[in-house]
């Protein structure tokens, strides 16, 4: 059984890897989006948004530097939603069925799918980080190493969010709404583009919501890890969000519940 599960996991990750290699356009568009924010948006806003000295920064930082962790999170958020979209598509087209009729526990199959998606998400984020570093965003050498576990955890959490959404979305047509109601609120209501204290100044309610947004936790986890620090609070929120989303996804894909009972 253990060997069977291991081979299946390798098979699922291998397939995801091959699909990633074949879908170069998807990879490029996943990189172009945050790079536009970094090269254009951040440059434009550099002078209007000053960022005070807040941890983990030890000095004033340029806006580009501030939003880099947020953009890493954005890469992973989009990747999670993209794989969710492809799962809804796969389900309509049937290839999700071939996975689910395999003789392994469904929770294991879904977790494997999540790991495979997170692997791609970490690769994409790492490539973005290297480009950002080449562009001139200064990151301590140790940061490239310490950010990896953070990217893995945040990639898993955002992938699990996508997995959960895919289990509750009936059809592809409903997906555009979910993108609007999930991606944009999560991204804008977080510390990705502006520090929480800035939101606090203008609207305490929004700041309160943003502080409990799992995406804020993911971004802060990445931000601290990039400078060799560990943000325990952010790590815990990210981890428990991961457990919650994955649990809901497994529940949603249960043969007695959720999406499979709905007629396609």
Partner 1 sequence: MSHNAILTLDNMSYAYGAKKALDRVSCKVEEGHCAILLGPNGAGKSTLFSLITHLYNAPSGTIHIGGHDVRRQPLKALGLLGVVFQQSTLDLDLTVRQNLLYHAALHGIKHREAEHRIKEELTRFGMLERAHEKARQLNGGHRRRVEIARALLHHPKLLLLDEPTVGLDVPSRKALVDHIHALCRDRQLAVLWATHLIDEIAPQDDLIVLHQGQVKASGEVSEVLEQTGQETIEAAFTQLTGRKERTLW
Per-residue binding string, partner 1, 157-186, x by CB under 8 A, is ------------------------------
Work out whether 263 is an interface residue with partner 1 (CB under 8 A). yes
Among 67, 75, 99, 246, binds partner 1 (CB under 8 A): 99
Only segment of 19-27, 124-132, 147-155, 218-226 that touches partner 1 (CB under 8 A): 19-27
Only segment of 28-36, 96-104, 173-181, 215-223 that touches partner 1 (CB under 8 A): 96-104
Among 48, 59, 202, 256, binds partner 1 (CB under 8 A): 256
**Minimum distance between the CB of residue 4 and partner 1, rounded to whole angstroms?**
3
In the 3-class helix/strand/coil scheme, how is the chain assigned residue by residue? Answer: CHHHHHHHHHHHHHHHHHHHHHCHHHHHHHHHHHHHHHHHHHHHHCCCCCCCCCCCCCCCCCHHHHHHHHHHHHHHHHHHHHHHHHHHHHHHHCHHHHHHCCCCCHHHHHHHHHHHHHHHHHHHHHHHHHHHHHHCCCCCHHHHHHHHHHHHHHHHHHHHHHHHHHHHCCCHHHHHHHHHHHHHHHHHCCCCCCCHHHHHHHCHHHHHHHHCCHHHHHHHHHHHHHCCCCCHHHHHHHHHHHHHHHHHHHHHCCCCCHHHHCCC
**Minimum distance between the CB of residue 179 and partner 1, rounded to whole angstroms?**
24
Among 11, 56, 149, 228, binds partner 1 (CB under 8 A): 11
Distance CA 191, CA 254 (A): 35
Among 35, 104, 127, 148, binds partner 1 (CB under 8 A): 104
Tokens 């799962």 correspond to 87
Among 27, 33, 95, 123, binds partner 1 (CB under 8 A): 95
Only segment of 41-49, 62-70, 123-131, 256-264 that touches partner 1 (CB under 8 A): 256-264
Please choose, from the candidates 153, 154, 132, 161, the residue with its C-alpha nearest in 3D space to the C-alpha of residue 144.
132
Work out whether 136 is an interface residue with partner 1 (CB under 8 A). no
**Minimum distance between the CB of residue 256 and partner 1, rounded to whole angstroms?**
4
Work out whether 61 is an interface residue with partner 1 (CB under 8 A). no
Q: Binding residues for partner 1, how many (CB under 8 A)?
A: 32
- Residues at the contact surface with partner 1, assessed by CB under 8 A: 3-5, 7-8, 10-12, 14-15, 18-19, 22-23, 93-95, 97-105, 255-256, 260-263
């Amino acid at each position: 059984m253990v060997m069977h599960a291991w081979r299946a996991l390798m098979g699922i990750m291998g397939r995801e890897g091959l699909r990633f290699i074949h879908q170069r356009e998807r990879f490029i568009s996943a990189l172009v989006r945050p790079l536009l924010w970094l090269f254009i948006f951040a440059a434009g806003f550099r002078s209007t948004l000053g960022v005070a000295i807040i941890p983990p920064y030890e000095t004033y930082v340029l806006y580009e530097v501030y939003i880099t962790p947020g953009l890493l999170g954005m890469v992973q958020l989009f990747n999670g939603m993209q794989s969710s979209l492809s799962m809804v598509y796969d389900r309509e087209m049937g290839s999700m069925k071939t996975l689910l009729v395999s003789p392994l526990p469904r929770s294991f199959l879904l977790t494997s799918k999540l790991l495979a998606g997170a692997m791609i998400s970490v690769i994409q984020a790492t490539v973005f980080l290297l480009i950002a570093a080449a562009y001139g965003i200064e990151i301590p050498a140790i940061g490239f190493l310490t950010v990896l576990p953070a990217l893995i955890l945040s990639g898993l959490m955002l992938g699990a969010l996508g997995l959960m959404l895919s289990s509750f979305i009936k059809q592809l047509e409903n997906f555009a709404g979910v993108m609007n109601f999930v991606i944009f609120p999560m991204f804008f209501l977080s510390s990705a583009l502006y520090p929480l204290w800035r939101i606090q100044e203008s609207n305490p309610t929004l700041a309160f919501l943003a502080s409990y947004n799992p995406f804020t936790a993911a971004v802060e986890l990445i931000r601290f890890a990039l400078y060799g620090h560990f943000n325990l609070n952010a790590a815990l929120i990210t981890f428990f969000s991961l457990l919650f989303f994955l649990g809901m996804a497994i529940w949603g894909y249960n043969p007695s519940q959720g999406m499979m009972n709905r007629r396609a």
